[in-house]
Amino acid sequence: MATEETLVLVKPDGVARGLTGAILARIEAKGYALVDIRLVEPDRDLLAAHYAEHEGKPFYEPLLEFMLSGPSVAIRLAGNRVIEGFRSLAGTTDPTTAAPGTIRGDFGRDWGLKVQQNLVHGSDSPESAARELDIWFD
Ligand code: DAT
Ligand code: MG
């Protein structure tokens, strides 16, 4: 199996809460390689490209507002089956029901309707990973 790459984001809630190190520790403990890492303050155009698949959904505007609220840490991450593997580390989308032992399950809070505050993003397919890495790491 060839090594693959994925885009991981520590979202503004993770950065603001000082959880970047704890999240990176889990990623490194799993054996994935940090190829590149940077703090990014995205503008609306970058986020619209990143979240194009969600345009028009009810949570789209709150999601962009949240992602504009502070910097994210963008990580180019490599490893065998890292796309699937990181999403497994992250846990399911809603932090309230994400399994204990996952990043979202252990650190995510119940923010009521603010499901967008779920600490991390991970690409969901090789196509998404290539597209998203281009967007965040030009
Ligand atoms: P994931 O980040 O698990 O891949 P996604 O791609 O379906 O989830 O959605 C992107 C982000 O949008 C997600 O991390 C949080 C937010 N989101 C998704 N579904 C939502 C919902 N029903 N209500 C509020 N925010 C939502
Ligand atoms: Mg997604």
Is a pLDDT exceeding 70 seen at residue 111? Answer: no
The fold of the 4-71+82-137 domain, in CATH, is Alpha-Beta Plaits (3.30.70)
Write down the residue that tokens 């809460």 correspond to.
17
Is a pLDDT exceeding 80 seen at residue 100? Answer: yes
> Does 59 carry a binding-site annotation?
yes
Closest ligand to residue 114's CA: 1
Q: Which of 26, 50, 76, 121 is catalytic?
A: 121
Ligand 1, residues at Cβ distance < 6 Å: 54, 59, 63, 93, 115-116, 118, 121, 124
121 is catalytic: yes
The tens digit of pLDDT for each residue in 24-64 reads 999 999 999 999 999 999 999 999 999 999 999 999 999 99
Q: Rounded to a whole number, what is the distance in angstroms from the first to the last CA of the chain?
A: 26
Whole-angstrom distance, CA of residue 102 vs CA of residue 99: 6
Boundaries of every domain in the chain: 4-71+82-137
